[in-house]
Amino acid sequence: MSMHDDCDKVLLLQAEFDGELDAAQSIALTRHRESCACCRDAWRRLQETRQALREQGSYHKASSALTRRLNQALAERDRFEGPGAGRSPWQVLAGWWRPAMGFAGGAAAAAIALLLLFRPLPATDIADLVVASHLRSLQPGHLLDVASNDQHNVKPWFDGKVDFAPPVKNLADQGFPLVGGRLDYLSDRNVAALVYRSGAHLINVLIWPAPTPQAEPPRQLERGGFNILRWQEGGMAIWVVSDLNAAELQKFVTIWRSHD
Amino acid sequence: MRIWGQPVPLHRGTCHQRGGTVNDEAGAARFRAEVLVHLDAAANLARWLLRNPAEAEDVVQDAVLRAFSYYQSFRGVNARAWLLQIVRNAAYAAMNRTQGIYMVELQEDMANSDGDGRGITLVDPSGDPESLLMQQEARRQIDGLLEALPVELRECIVLRELEELSYRDIAEITAVPVGTVMSRLWRARRLLSEAARAKEAAR
């Protein structure tokens, strides 16, 4: 008899072997097993296979390097200062050399090199999220939840939608009319988005409570062709993103900050 | 942000929503205690699915970080099964991405299966050399048989025999009904048993 000549109870037998049967089923099956040569043989095989796998087969634990990298990435995430969550652990890992490359030789190494080339790029830090929000806002119907050039309409609209009071300013007189506002969602929290126009360009101003109380001067970034300026003031973290050129955007921020 | 294109199907447990999020330190600590403790299981599954240490390590790393991002929406009770589900999805995605490359690699692996540098074998240095050699040989054989199984059988048997998961958990992780898990397990075990006996007979 071999495991080929399966008795019709064989899956039940296996379930018993794996401890999946209740007591009544289990008793009934044990009785059957005593009288069925096929099942006795199958049971022995199940035991042999289990023993071989558990005692002789490899159990591949996580390498200490991987454990360390992950712990570091998570610790980094804890410290993060963005809206709600934080700088992506992917970013932390992005620069890391993969020690695994060391023991993969020849064709394997080449294959892995190719793999790494085609890996999606880490793209979850705040600047990327801000740009993603900007791009989303340019999709039809996504720009505004409240369309108004009057800050006295826009500001109260945020009441009850976000747990903070975003500063809303209309800069129409300075060439940057307020278009409206919307609620956005960035890295695990609601943020207030104000939309301004400059000629044919749109400017998104994303606001959320700053993680740290101190003010921070504007800093400039560039992501995928979009200019970003970020700073902290009045307990708020403020990120401005636009396809406007850097000088114009700088001007907008200067005016926005000096305006009451 | 989606690394593997599709969102992970999360466990639909009956557990209450966890208070807070992973955004606070308590959340990260909870993630460590509840999910990260299963890192070895994640590494083992990825390694058995991909059969390549470097690739497996990448997959586990991405899967764990991904699990961290999704942690606050995790409502299940079985964090290990949940993590393994994410790892499995990631591993399959990686396999799909690299199918062409992977074939070559496997053939090479087969060609020098005598002296491959696969893994690090932890052995008792005090053991006598002969039994040590036999142990290594046995391990090599079992590993080889397991690696040769079709992936859908391999994952079932690894989850059952090495991770000791229940049929229900395996069904959830591999996204098939429990009945399928049972028949796959049976086929895997039969193939392993027959292959082992055939090898013995050939000696």
**B173 vs A14, A19, B86, B91, B184, CA distance in Å?**
20, 19, 8, 12, 14
Q: Give tens-digit pLDDT for B158-201.
A: 999 999 999 999 999 999 999 999 999 999 999 999 998 888 88
- Residues β-bridged to residue A185: A190
Of A144-158, A202-216, B163-177, minimum mean pLDDT range? A144-158
How many CB contacts within 8 angstroms connect chain A with chain B?
Answer: 172
Quote the strand ranges of chain A, DSSP E: 146-147, 178-186, 189-198, 201-209, 216-223, 226-233, 236-242
Query: A3–B194: do the CB atoms touch at under 8 Å?
Result: yes
**Mutate which of A46, A53, A119, A130 to test chain B, going by most B C-beta atoms within 10 A?**
A53
Choose one of B113, B134, B165: the last residue of a domain.
B113
Query: A62–B60: do the CB atoms touch at under 8 Å?
Result: yes
Residue B154's H or E segment, with its range, is helix B151-157
Asked if pLDDT for residue B1 goes beyond 60, the answer is no
**A48: which chain B residues are within 8 Å (Cβ-Cβ)?**
193, 196
Q: Which of A2, A15, A70 is the closest to B61 by Cβ?
A: A70
How many angstroms separate the CA atoms of B197 and B141, rounded?
A: 12
**A56: which chain B residues are within 8 Å (Cβ-Cβ)?**
135, 138-139, 141-142
Q: What angle do CA B169, B175, B180 make, to 5 degrees?
A: 80
Asked if pLDDT for residue A86 goes beyond 50, the answer is no
Give yes or no: residues B178 and B102 share one domain: no
Q: Which of B61, B139, B189 is the closest to A58 by Cβ?
A: B139
Choose one of B85, B113, B141: the last residue of a domain.
B113
Give yes or no: residues B91 and B182 share one domain: no
Give yes or no: residues B105 and B5 share one domain: yes
Of A39-43, A187-191, B104-108, minimum mean pLDDT range? B104-108
Q: Give tens-digit pLDDT for B2-15.
A: 333 333 444 433 33
Q: What is the mean pLDDT of residues A93-106?
A: 42
Looking at residue B130, which CATH number applies to its domain?
1.10.10.10
Instruction: Give the nearest chain B residue to A189 (CA atoms).
Output: B23
| Res A146: pLDDT | 73
Tokens representing A105?
Answer: 């030789």
Of A29-43, A124-138, A139-153, B121-135, minimum mean pLDDT range? B121-135
Q: Average model confidence (pLDDT) for chain A?
A: 78
ipTM of the complex in this document: 0.75
Q: Is A85 helix (H, G, I), strand (E, B) or coil?
A: coil
| Res A6: pLDDT | 63
Give yes or no: residues B103 and B153 share one domain: no
Asked if pLDDT for residue A251 goes beyond 80, the answer is yes
**Mutate which of B190, B191, B194 to test chain A, going by most A C-beta atoms within 10 A?**
B190
Query: B105–A107: do the CB atoms touch at under 8 Å?
Result: yes
Q: Which of A57, A106, A189 is the closest to B143 by Cβ?
A: A57
Give yes or no: residues B9 and B72 share one domain: yes
Which range marks the domain in which residue B167 is found? Answer: 121-202
Give yes or no: residues B3 and B91 share one domain: yes
Give yes or no: residues B108 and B130 share one domain: no
Give yes or no: residues B128 and B87 share one domain: no
- The number of angstroms, rounded, from the C-alpha of A207 to the middle of its chain's C-alpha atoms is 20
Looking at residue B63, which CATH number applies to its domain?
1.10.1740
Give yes or no: residues B11 and B35 share one domain: yes
Give yes or no: residues B6 and B87 share one domain: yes
Give yes or no: residues B103 and B127 share one domain: no
Give yes or no: residues B36 and B87 share one domain: yes
Instruction: Give the nearest chain B residue to A50 (CA atoms).
Output: B161
| Res B73: pLDDT | 80
Choose one of B113, B137, B154: the last residue of a domain.
B113
Q: How many CB atoms lie within 10 A of CB A82?
A: 22
Total domains present in chain B: 2
What does the longest C-alpha to C-alpha distance in chain A come to?
95
What structural domains and CATH numbers belong to chain A?
A: 10-56 (no CATH), 77-118 (no CATH), 126-258 (3.30.200.100)
Q: Give tens-digit pLDDT for B12-45.
A: 333 334 433 445 566 778 888 889 999 999 999 9
Phi, psi of B143 (to 5 degrees): -60, -40
